């Protein structure tokens, strides 16, 4: 075997980055793996626009069948994103005996159970390093480097857009709207950033991390998801006064026989490593039984960062094909000690709460009375300066409370005529 032929579906930002790496590092890669990797065909709906790489026009096509039906193509790289037609392309490629590399976290999170089963049945692999953390080698580390470990918890800052916004608010004292505007100007936010700032993108990636760490392929509906749009600059600044930082965290932690999985804004101590992760950078903090606590850190976006992860998968596949081996990319063993997923109502946490209340006597008594009714005690309370016509922010830190009790209490408090906005509640994690 002297050459491996690859078909690339998706010639956008990451796809052109993959081609660039394979062109610029051709000699290095061949020296390391002993085989030439050849891009035989590239499919994209736009084959006219200029990219930052040059390719022979003869290898460009708008028809994915030119790749899927080519018996000389051994590996298909899918980089178009979305569910359809990406799912259909992958299934057809697997059925035709081709291995798959993808960065499509939404597809794997939603349809992974079916796709992984088809791959196993066909004796082929689906590699997906670029789907979480771009160039951070977290998938390979979980699959291989930590293969003998049991996992206690995963805490991830795994959405660059949200992290950039919160970092801008914290570092430059700007509002959420201004930070989002900056993210768009710099190309860090989509025209519609809902999936990013709403926590859905983080949830998709968390599903894959949970699968690799705990052997449970859960669904998006199994995850409590809360985004960052209600986080105000005042919340960021109050948190800093308390020695805390707000981050959008993807959390999966084992508690006895339960798995607690959620995505939401989280207050963490300012001296924790995760608190210092700024801008579009990502970080995944892993707690294991053998290797201890580990932090994986790096750019969470970027053409070459994500393309580097795709090429890493490609090299793994080529080495196996050269050796005539089939190594399952998913050496996943379910953690049988986990019997159920923990519901969000059942979690217990400390909380930061901000109320916007009328500035008059008796307000604190009414709020604290309702909290006490649900068995919730207050660790500290601060009434901040007046912001507008007789309305002031009241900031409370609550002792550990059950989520269900807090929600019930806040539902009653929000209906009081002295409360002018629904309370902002942010969970706190020691990590």
Among residues 211, 80, 190, the alpha carbon closest in space to that of 138 is found at: 211
- Please check whether residues 149 and 286 belong to one and the same domain: yes
Contact yes or no for 431/268 (Cβ under 8 A): yes
Q: Residue 417 belongs to what domain range? A: 345-428
pLDDT digits (tens, 9 = 90+) for 240-264: 999 999 999 999 999 999 999 999 9
Contacts of the segment 115-119: beta carbons below 8 A, 24+ positions apart: 115/87, 115/90, 115/91, 116/217, 116/330, 118/91, 118/94, 119/94
Do strands 75-78 and 99-102 pair parallel, antiparallel, or not at all (unpaired)?
parallel
Return d(Cα 277, Cα 170) in angstroms, integer.
12
Question: Residue 425 has what pLDDT?
Answer: 98
Give the other-Cβ count within 10 Å of 230's Cβ: 16
Same domain, 127 and 148: no
The answer on 392 and 369 residing in a single domain is yes
Please give the structure tokens belonging to residue 232.
């105000």
Q: What pLDDT is stored for residue 1 in this prediction? A: 63
Quick one: pLDDT at residue 56?
96
Residue 193 in any domain: the answer is yes
User: What residue ranges of the chain have pLDDT lower than 70?
Assistant: 1, 385-389
| pLDDT recorded at residue 431 | 85
Residue 178 domain flag: yes
Give Cα separations from 405 to 29, 350, 372, 410 (angstroms): 57, 12, 10, 9
Active-site amino acid positions: 205
The domain boundary, picked from 269, 291, 323, lies at: 323
Considering the domain architecture, whether residues 187 and 125 belong to the same structural domain is answered as no
Tell me how far apart the alpha carbons of residues 121 and 112 are, in angstroms, rounded to a whole number. Answer: 14
Collapsing DSSP states into helix, strand and coil, what is residue 91? helix
Supply the pTM of this predicted model. Answer: 0.95
Q: Where are the alpha helices (DSSP H) in 250-390?
A: 303-323, 363-373
- The string of pLDDT tens digits covering residues 59-118 is 999 999 999 999 999 999 999 999 999 999 999 999 999 999 999 999 999 999 999 999
CA 149/CA 287 separation, integer angstroms: 10
- Strand segments (E) across 158-290: 224-225, 244-255, 258-269, 281-288
* Tally of domains within the chain: 3
Are both 245 and 376 inside the same structural domain? no
For residue 247, give the CATH number of its domain: 3.30.360.10
Of the candidates 88, 106, 275, 266, which has an alpha carbon nearest to the alpha carbon of residue 194?
106
Residues 176 and 272 reside in one and the same domain: yes
CATH number of domain containing 130: 3.40.50.720
pLDDT value of position 301: 82
User: Does 339 fall in a domain?
Assistant: no
pLDDT value of position 387: 56
């Amino acid at each position: 075997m002297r050459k491996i032929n690859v078909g690339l579906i998706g010639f956008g930002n990451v796809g052109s980055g993959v081609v660039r790496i394979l062109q610029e590092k051709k000699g290095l890669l061949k020296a390391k793996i002993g085989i030439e990797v050849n891009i035989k065909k590239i499919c994209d709906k736009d084959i006219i626009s200029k990219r930052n790489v040059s390719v022979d026009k003869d290898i460009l096509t708008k028809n994915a069948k030119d790749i899927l039906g080519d018996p000389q193509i051994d590996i298909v790289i899918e980089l178009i994103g979305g569910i359809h037609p990406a799912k259909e392309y992958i299934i057809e490629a697997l059925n035709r005996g081709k291995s798959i590399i993808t960065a499509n976290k939404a597809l794997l999170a939603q349809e992974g159970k079916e796709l992984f089963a088809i791959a196993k049945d066909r004796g082929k692999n689906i590699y997906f390093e670029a789907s979480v953390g771009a160039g951070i080698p977290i998938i390979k580390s979980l699959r291989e480097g930590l293969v003998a470990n049991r996992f206690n918890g995963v805490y991830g800052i795994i959405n660059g857009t949200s992290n950039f916004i919160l970092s801008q608010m914290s570092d430059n004292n700007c509002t959420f709207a201004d930070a989002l505007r900056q993210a768009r100007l710099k190309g860090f936010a989509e025209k519609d950033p809902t999936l990013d700032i709403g926590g859905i993108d983080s949830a998709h990636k968390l599903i894959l991390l949970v699968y690799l760490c705990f052997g449970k392929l859960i669904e998006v509906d199994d995850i409590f998801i809360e985004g960052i749009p209600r986080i105000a600059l005042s919340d960021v600044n109050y948190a800093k006064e308390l020695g805390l930082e707000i981050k959008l965290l993807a959390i999966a932690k084992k508690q006895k026989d339960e798995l607690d999985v959620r995505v939401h804004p989280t207050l963490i101590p300012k001296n924790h490593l995760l608190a210092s992760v700024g801008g579009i950078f990502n970080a995944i903090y892993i707690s294991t039984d053998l290797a201890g606590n580990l932090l994986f850190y790096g750019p969470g976006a970027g053409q070459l960062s994500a393309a580097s992860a795709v090429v890493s998968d490609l090299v793994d596949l080529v080495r196996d094909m050269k050796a005539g081996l089939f190594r399952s990319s998913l050496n996943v063993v379910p953690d049988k000690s986990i019997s159920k997923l923990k519901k969000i109502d059942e979690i217990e946490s400390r909380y930061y709460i901000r109320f916007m209340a009328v500035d008059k006597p008796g307000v604190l008594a009414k709020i604290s009375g309702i909290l006490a009714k649900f068995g919730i005690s207050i660790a500290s309370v601060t009434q901040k300066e007046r912001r507008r016509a007789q309305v002031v922010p009241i900031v409370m830190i609550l002792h550990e409370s059950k989520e269900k009790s807090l929600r019930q209490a806040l539902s009653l408090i929000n209906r009081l005529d002295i409360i002018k906005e629904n309370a902002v509640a942010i969970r706190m994690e020691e990590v």
